[in-house]
Chain A
């Protein structure tokens, strides 16, 4: 009997302890805590690729030089300035991207007439000379020069947006007026490759910088913790924020009515409803019925839902609860 009592006592104690442990250590109901979610515009791969790509149709609004035009004047002067401040160089830089080579070739053909037919750059140096030194070459070449600038004017004119051929002649003289002084001394030096290299160097970094900024602005939206697994709790918040946009609550008067409507819904992988949402329970009052219908309307109207695909197993079947019962 004594043994029985102690056994009984120990068994009873075990039961108590085990029972308590099972109660207190068992997992609680899987209820998703409402969490703050960051509003993010989701971008498809195509859209991302477009954002990353350089823009050919340049944006003038963009402060950062995506387009060659901005790069022409100032940057080139800065870097290459010491070496070649020549106007011709400047004009050179612009043509390569643009389809101007043809007009250049023509002058080259005509340049053989004047005495110095050398590299492409030199002919251009000659051009300003002609303009300046109209007296030096015979009047005929001057006239020719006037004719020559016309084809050469075209690239500039194009840059200035199609001016008539008659107008350009004065402009070349103006534009040429500035460059000529530097052109003379440096005309002799040939820096073709280095200039091209400098130009290439410049363009690449600017493009990278722009792309980098865009990338960073996206990357900044991550969590500081940086674990994608942490997002597992937030698909609920994502669903919440999406469905709330469509939910037009019925007007329950100035007294907060403690309405609640819960559903069970099944979603497909693309975020659309697999079946009609199943309302949980039958509404007991007209207002509760209206409340439940408004929630049902919201669920249907807001699909497809944009939820993280890797947690599909969690959100393919769950229970949204629309509630005004605030704790």
Chain B
């Protein structure tokens, strides 16, 4: 009896065990077929941006202007293909009712932006917009803003950022400014002025009068301040300039030349090179306490320092190995590690706000190239190359680089943007020749 029982129990347990073993795979066998789709094309997204509806008859102009600025921003990013307004089948007259998605789908729009500009009783301007997914009919984003009427371009940039962010999954960069050196006059007597403009080239403002030579302006990553080098009466000095107030001050009081300044990520410190005899070393100065700390002490030229976005490390250029190369070291000083090993010399390293890349100017073979590499020195890629390209600066989202290009001869330099992938190289409109661009952080 006990034997029988044992046997039966064993058999039962064996059967259940076997059944359990079989169940797992069998479940998969009866699931739905899975079809893998791998080959989409990375193509600009077709987007329709009809003129914003005018809340009052006098808002027609600003409505069209906002839509135009957004269109231009998205088009220049290279990730969107705005559809010509002439192709639109539906005229948006009320943004509070859903649009006729079929009419937008029929012109192949995948996204649709509708908006309205209304002058308020108190003189302010109300801007509303909605971003629609044409295929599903879903509203992807919607916002309203109030501003004073002269800042309508800024509103357009902010809306552009919202659209960019929602449709690419990346932070935007349109609501930002660029400080650069405006150059005018003949080649032998160039007048160089510090100038500020929106990232799309609009609203150019001159910050200096051009009596003194200014170089290497840099935006604070967190405040509306600029640091730059100016040749005054004596030695070149590093200056601090507040864009909002127009106040200007010399950074520190050093015996020799100070140059190549750049802000720390929190905007509270400035790192720069100080000349000492034939050498230059890196120093950092706290803007509040004015305390200065030496970071390097080598018989070489160490310059062009740039902080990592987390402030933990810096990258800089040094010729301690013979030719200028890029090195990385802890932000507080210490052991430096060389990361650039290609042919030629590397200079003007700048760390991306995303932290994933370091952009540089590479000189070799009679060419100046703009490139990027990872902070460990791997993945070097050249984005553009030519007679003279220099001074890369990252957009706030780390997706786009701006630099200046000098074609040589009598012509002067001008500004260009290029995607970090090396695509979509575009000239940035400036009133005259321009060099040494530096991108601001997002304004909002």
A interface, CB within 8 angstroms of B: 3-4, 7-8, 11-12, 14-15, 18-19, 22-23, 26-32, 34, 236, 239-240, 243-244, 247-255, 262, 264, 276, 285-291, 293-298, 300-301, 314-315, 317-324, 326
Whether A26 pairs with B26 at a CB distance below 8 angstroms is yes
Whether B37 pairs with A320 at a CB distance below 8 angstroms is yes
Quote the shortest CB–CB distance from A266 to chain B (angstroms). 10
Whether B169 pairs with A248 at a CB distance below 8 angstroms is no
Contacts of A289 in B (CB 8 A): 169
A sample of 13 more A-B contacts (CB under 8 A), given A22-B21, A293-B140, A318-B33, is A4-B3, A29-B25, A29-B31, A32-B34, A248-B44, A253-B170, A253-B399, A285-B169, A298-B40, A315-B33, A319-B32, A320-B34, A321-B34
A251 to B81, CA, bound (A): 13
Quote the shortest CB–CB distance from A315 to chain B (angstroms). 8
Whether B29 pairs with A320 at a CB distance below 8 angstroms is no
Contacts of A296 in B (CB 8 A): 135-136
Q: Which residue from chain A places its CB closest to the CB of B37 in the assembled complex?
A: A322
Query: In chain B between 37 and 88, which residues have their CB closer than 8 angstroms to a CB of chain A?
Result: 37-46, 79
Whether B28 pairs with A30 at a CB distance below 8 angstroms is yes
Q: Which of B105, B170, B381 contacts A287 (CB 8 A)?
A: B170
Q: What DSSP secondary structure best describes chain B's contact surface?
A: mixed
Whether A23 pairs with B25 at a CB distance below 8 angstroms is yes
Q: Which of A285, A290, A298, A301 contacts B168 (CB 8 A)?
A: A290
Quote the shortest CB–CB distance from B33 to chain A (angstroms). 4
Stretch at the interface among B9-17, B92-100, B146-154: B9-17
Whether B421 pairs with A18 at a CB distance below 8 angstroms is no
Contacts of B320 in A (CB 8 A): none
B interface, CB within 8 angstroms of A: 3, 6-7, 10-11, 14, 17-18, 21-22, 25-26, 28-46, 79, 105, 110, 133, 135-136, 140, 165-170, 356, 381, 399, 420-421
Quote the shortest CB–CB distance from A286 to chain B (angstroms). 4
Whether B421 pairs with A34 at a CB distance below 8 angstroms is no
A298 to B381, CA, bound (A): 32
Contacts of A3 in B (CB 8 A): 3
Whether B14 pairs with A323 at a CB distance below 8 angstroms is no
Whether B3 pairs with A287 at a CB distance below 8 angstroms is no
Q: Which residue from chain A places its CB closest to the CB of B357 in the assembled complex?
A: A254
Contacts A317-B32, A319-B32 given; indicate if A324 touches B14 (C-beta within 8 A). no
Q: Which residue from chain B places its CB closest to the CB of A259 in the assembled complex?
A: B169
Contacts of A253 in B (CB 8 A): 170, 399, 420-421
Contacts A297-B110, A318-B35 given; indicate if A11 touches B421 (C-beta within 8 A). no
Whether B34 pairs with A318 at a CB distance below 8 angstroms is yes
A243 to B41, CA, bound (A): 11
Whether B34 pairs with A323 at a CB distance below 8 angstroms is no
Contacts of B6 in A (CB 8 A): 4, 7-8
Quote the shortest CB–CB distance from B139 to chain A (angstroms). 13
Whether B169 pairs with A295 at a CB distance below 8 angstroms is no
Whether A248 pairs with B41 at a CB distance below 8 angstroms is yes
Whether B36 pairs with A240 at a CB distance below 8 angstroms is yes
Whether B32 pairs with A318 at a CB distance below 8 angstroms is yes
A243 to B10, CA, bound (A): 54
Whether A254 pairs with B420 at a CB distance below 8 angstroms is yes
Whether B37 pairs with A321 at a CB distance below 8 angstroms is yes
Whether A323 pairs with B38 at a CB distance below 8 angstroms is yes
A322 to B105, CA, bound (A): 22
Q: Select the residue from B33, B38, B44, B136 with max chain A CB neighbours within 10 A.
A: B33
Q: Which 9 A-B pairs have the closest CB atoms?
A: A287-B169, A247-B40, A29-B28, A249-B40, A286-B169, A290-B169, A22-B22, A26-B25, A15-B14
Quote the shortest CB–CB distance from B339 to chain A (angstroms). 18
Whether B45 pairs with A319 at a CB distance below 8 angstroms is no
Contacts of B28 in A (CB 8 A): 28-30
Q: Which of B7, B14, B37 contacts A295 (CB 8 A)?
A: B37
Contacts A4-B6, A15-B17, A294-B40 given; indicate if A251 touches B34 (C-beta within 8 A). no
Whether A286 pairs with B165 at a CB distance below 8 angstroms is yes
Contacts of A288 in B (CB 8 A): 169
Whether A321 pairs with B35 at a CB distance below 8 angstroms is yes
Whether B33 pairs with A323 at a CB distance below 8 angstroms is no
A sample of 15 inter-chain contacts (CB < 8 A) reads: A7-B7, A11-B14, A15-B17, A19-B21, A23-B22, A32-B34, A32-B36, A250-B168, A251-B42, A251-B79, A254-B420, A262-B34, A300-B135, A317-B32, A319-B32
A285 to B297, CA, bound (A): 44
Whether B35 pairs with A251 at a CB distance below 8 angstroms is no
Quote the shortest CB–CB distance from A295 to chain B (angstroms). 7
Contacts of A314 in B (CB 8 A): 33
Contacts A26-B25, A296-B135, A300-B136 given; indicate if A320 touches B35 (C-beta within 8 A). yes
Contacts A317-B32, A323-B37 given; indicate if A301 touches B135 (C-beta within 8 A). yes
Quote the shortest CB–CB distance from A54 to chain B (angstroms). 38
Quote the shortest CB–CB distance from B237 to chain A (angstroms). 39
Whether A240 pairs with B169 at a CB distance below 8 angstroms is no
Whether A254 pairs with B29 at a CB distance below 8 angstroms is no
Q: Which of A14, A297, A301, A321 contacts B36 (CB 8 A)?
A: A321
